[in-house]
């Protein structure tokens, strides 16, 4: 990569959540291996983001590479309408085995946002099939994030989320106050009262409630009490509302459980997974439900579930995902994640003494440092790169979701680099 490449990028390529008028500088990555990114000038950075939480086994893994090579020699893609293939069968068999016994019907899709769209459509079509087409609204909680497509945007936080520009055209959904009691705090039933009131008032026209179990991701990296999720399951059972768990960010061990809903010992009616499904190699997601719900959906006038992505069940993605899930189970992921969690809790103690740090929180392989003020993205990104690390904050939140294979020394280097940058910000704030 040379200067003209960066200039072309700046003038012609639209990056996510980036202004074309005042675009933020991009770093040029030319290779990645393990937990390191190699920049165009040879600089190596320890990646604390797992490429938006997906590369749990690290980059350029020989087993995942080989799975992709083996599959592409047979076929890279074939339509899934009226066709099946070994990679999809193997992947779906593994997903059924990994999830709760009730969850035994798998719908594959292209991305997490689409998996959420599929889940919402499943819930609506389910109630149409049961002769209750009036049950078409979604319940959810504030501070949630479920994707950038239109139905997914409608269940994201309508005020503090990223999609308030579209509020006038989005379907109006029903929001309750988000849980306030943290994961390790003392539970109080008052925390579920706002959602209970919402169920009582609106269950007659509510198809489902969708939420991120235990950890709310891009809506604020908030970690809430498992008893809240238990109470949600009870409300769904009482008021005949489906429960959709969006585990796109939390699934496959990230919180210390294979799925975050296991912290509350509950099973959703519909489960969405993605991100780490392929170990970060390519986009693939799944929406998983029960035989009862699946067969009910197919009793509508259409006789089928009304969704069918062109690249559904892509063989290349399925082959890599199947190998990634095999590796996850073989690598003793529980020990990997527990080790990361323990080290993060110890390393994060130093941040508590900084005046610009409001609080820190850790769960599984998730570490969050909440600052007192929002960061300047351009300057803080450059500061992190100087420290030899890649971290991408948002708002007041500096967070990491490292790869499960990160070594203790690499994790220490990552956290030390974050500390140096945050401490420097604190000194600047004091000086001003």
Q: Which residue has the higher pLDDT, 32 or 428?
A: 32
Location of structure tokens 């950890």: 215
Pick the catalytic residue: 17, 41, 73, 190? Answer: 17
The 3-state DSSP class for residue 90 equals helix
> Percent of the chain, pLDDT > 70?
99
Tell whether the model's pLDDT for residue 262 goes beyond 90: yes
Strand order in the sheet with 29-33: 29-33, 36-39, 44-47, 389-390
Catalytic residue at 246?
yes
Q: What's the pLDDT band for 332 if we cut at 50, 70, 90?
A: very high
Q: What's the pLDDT band for 165 if we cut at 50, 70, 90?
A: confident
Catalytic residue at 228?
no
Residues 124-139 pLDDT 10s: 999 999 999 999 999 9
Domains of the chain are: 3-57+332-431 (3.90.1150.10), 64-330 (3.40.640.10)
Other Cβ atoms within 10 Å of 42 Cβ, number: 8
Biggest CA pair distance of the chain: 68
Which strand (E) or helix (H) includes residue 193?
helix 193-202
Residues 87-109 pLDDT 10s: 999 999 999 999 999 999 999 99
Identify any residues that bridge with 362 across adjacent strands, giving them in sequence order.
Answer: 367
pTM confidence score = 0.96
Residue positions counted in the chain: 432
Rounded Cα distance, 180 and 191, in Å: 6
- The alpha carbon of residue 232 and the mean position of all alpha carbons in its chain are separated, in whole angstroms, by 20
pLDDT at 85: 98
Angle between helices 377-386 and 408-431 in degrees, nearest 10: 130
Rounded Cα distance, 150 and 167, in Å: 10
Rounded Cα distance, 325 and 273, in Å: 12
Indicate the DSSP class of residue 349: G
Mark 321-334 as b/e (b = at least 16 C-beta within 10 Å). Answer: bbbbbebbeeeebe
Other Cβ atoms within 10 Å of 279 Cβ, number: 27
CB 137 within 8 A of CB 210: no
Burial degree of 172 (CB within 10 A; 0-12, 13-18, 19+): exposed
Residues 372-429 pLDDT 10s: 999 999 999 999 999 999 999 999 999 999 999 999 999 999 999 999 999 999 887 7
Pick the catalytic residue: 145, 228, 404, 419? Answer: 145
Residues 204-251 pLDDT 10s: 999 999 999 999 999 899 999 999 999 999 999 999 999 999 999 999
Catalytic residue at 404?
no
Tokens for 318, please give them. Answer: 């399925």
Pick the catalytic residue: 121, 135, 257, 275? Answer: 275
Least confident range of 152-161, 179-188, 343-352: 152-161
- Mean pLDDT for the chain? 96
pLDDT at 24: 86
Tell whether the model's pLDDT for residue 28 goes beyond 80: yes
Residues 266-303 pLDDT 10s: 999 999 999 999 999 999 999 999 999 999 999 988 89
Rounded Cα distance, 358 and 350, in Å: 13
- The alpha carbon of residue 311 and the mean position of all alpha carbons in its chain are separated, in whole angstroms, by 21
Strand order in the sheet with 357-363: 357-363, 366-371, 397-400
Residues sharing a CB contact under 8 Å with residue 24, sequence separation 6 or more, in sequence order: 15, 18, 377, 378, 381
pLDDT at 115: 98
Q: Where are the beta strands (DSSP E) in 65-158?
A: 105-109, 137-141
Tokens for 305, please give them. Answer: 């579930």
Rounded Cα distance, 162 and 148, in Å: 9
DSSP 219-285: TT-EEB-HHHHHHHHHHHHHHT-EEEEE-TTTTTTTTSSSSGGGGGT---SEEEE-GGGGTTSS--E
Rounded Cα distance, 21 and 427, in Å: 31
Catalytic residue at 5?
no
The 3-state DSSP class for residue 359 equals strand
Rounded Cα distance, 72 and 315, in Å: 8
pLDDT at 123: 98
Rounded Cα distance, 383 and 50, in Å: 19
Dihedral, CA atoms, 8, 12, 13, 18, nearest 10 degrees? 110
pLDDT at 427: 82
Residues 60-75 pLDDT 10s: 999 999 999 999 999 9
Tell whether the model's pLDDT for residue 163 goes beyond 80: no
Q: What's the pLDDT band for 432 if we cut at 50, 70, 90?
A: low
Other Cβ atoms within 10 Å of 199 Cβ, number: 21
Tell whether the model's pLDDT for residue 162 goes beyond 70: no
């Amino acid at each position: 990569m040379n200067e003209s490449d960066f200039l072309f990028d700046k003038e012609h390529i639209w990056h996510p959540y980036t202004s074309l008028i005042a675009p933020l500088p991009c770093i040029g990555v030319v290779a990645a291996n393990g937990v390191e990114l190699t920049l165009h000038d040879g600089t190596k950075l320890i990646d604390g983001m797992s490429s938006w939480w997906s590369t749990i086994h690290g980059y350029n893994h020989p087993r995942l590479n080989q799975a992709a090579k083996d599959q592409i020699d047979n076929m890279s893609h074939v339509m899934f309408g009226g066709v099946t293939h070994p990679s999809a069968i193997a992947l779906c068999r593994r997903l059924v085995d990994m999830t709760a016994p009730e969850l035994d019907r798998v719908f594959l899709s292209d991305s997490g946002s689409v998996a959420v769209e599929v889940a919402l459509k499943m819930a609506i079509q389910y109630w149409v099939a049961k002769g209750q087409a009036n049950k078409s609204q979604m319940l959810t909680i504030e501070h949630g994030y479920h994707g950038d497509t239109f139905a997914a945007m409608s269940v994201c936080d309508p005020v503090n989320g990223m999609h308030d520009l579209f509020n006038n055209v989005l379907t109006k959904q029903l929001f309750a106050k988000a849980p306030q009691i943290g994961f390790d705090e003392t539970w109080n039933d008052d925390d579920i009262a706002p959602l209970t009131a919402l169920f009582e008032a609106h269950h007659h026209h509510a198809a489902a409630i969708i939420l991120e179990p235990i950890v709310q991701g891009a809506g604020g990296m908030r970690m809430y009490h498992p008893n809240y999720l238990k109470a949600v399951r009870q409300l769904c059972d009482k008021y005949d509302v489906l429960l959709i768990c969006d585990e796109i960010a939390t699934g496959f061990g990230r919180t210390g459980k294979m799925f975050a809903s296991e912290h509350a010992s509950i099973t959703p009616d519909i489960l969405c997974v993605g991100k780490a499904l392929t170990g970060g190699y390519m986009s693939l997601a799944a929406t998983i439900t029960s035989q009862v719900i699946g067969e009910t959906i197919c009793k509508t006038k259409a006789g089928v579930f009304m969704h069918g992505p062109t690249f559904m069940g892509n063989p290349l993605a399925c082959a890599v995902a199947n190998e990634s899930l095999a590796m996850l189970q073989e690598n003793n992921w529980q020990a990997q994640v527990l080790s990361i969690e323990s080290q993060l809790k110890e390393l994060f103690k130093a941040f508590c003494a900084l005046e610009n740090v409001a609080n820190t929180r850790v769960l599984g392989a998730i570490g969050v440092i909440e600052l007192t003020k929002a960061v300047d993205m351009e300057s803080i990104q450059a500061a992190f790169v100087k420290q030899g690390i890649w971290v991408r904050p948002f708002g007041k939140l500096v967070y990491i979701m490292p790869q499960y294979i990160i070594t203790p020394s690499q994790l220490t280097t990552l956290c030390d680099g974050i500390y140096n940058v945050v401490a420097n910000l604190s000194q600047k704030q004091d000086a001003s």
